[in-house]
Amino acid sequence: MSGTARAGAPRDAATHDARAATTMTPQPFIYLASQSPRRAQLLDQIGVRHRLLPAEPDEDAEALEAVRPGESPGAYVQRVTALKLDAAVQRHRRQGLDAAPILCADTTVALGRTILGKPADEADARRMLGRLSGTTHRVLTAVALQHGTQRHAALQVSRVRFAMLADAEVDAYAASGEPMGKAGAYAIQGRAGAFVEHIAGSHSGIMGLPLHETARLLRQAGFTT
């Protein structure tokens, strides 16, 4: 019996080593440079493993979102996304983190050439929602991915038509708190979904991360889930 045990030992050791090697093999992931739970959920939806790389307390993320005079919505959202990705790359370097692609996105709402950003307060949210009532507006989401020295970027534009909103609907929604922190003062995945008559484009893009474009950028960077 002792001879049988000795014969089996090398096989057991080899099996253990193989399992250990499999366990220790780093699995592919990306960094998500965003604090948006919606973007994290959307990455989960398509099976992309990710780690958060949010802005540090001393970073002024709001300053990056300032609109330049005469800037078009498309130019604006792509410029802001690029600046946020620049900041994320520097943050990644400062923190000495493991190498992996870094993903960043930004979303804005535009009525014509007018950019509707995040409302300053409830009154501002009511003002924005009043302007969107009964109109078709654009939701633009820019995505950028840094992989080593390479950068890949895309812009997704959707058109959303709101029904005519009664003053009571606008007041109730603004008072709910949901518009705060949202471009255009609404979240399509929330209560404002009831306002939408028609969408032409990407529902995930309106939420904040267009999945088709994001998956394409990841493939361009050689990332596989």
Residues labelled catalytic: 106
Please name the helix (run of DSSP H) or strand (run of DSSP E) that holds residue 6, with its range, or none.
helix 2-24
Burial class (CB in 10 A: 0-12, 13-18, 19+), 109: buried
Residues 6+ positions from 100 with CB-CB distance below 8 Å:
28, 29, 30, 31, 51
Residue of 87, 212, 196 whose CA lies nearest to 157: 212
- Interatomic CA distance for residues 8 and 67, integer angstroms: 70
Cβ proximity of 206 and 132 under 8 Å? no
Q: Which tokens is 11 given?
A: 């096989």
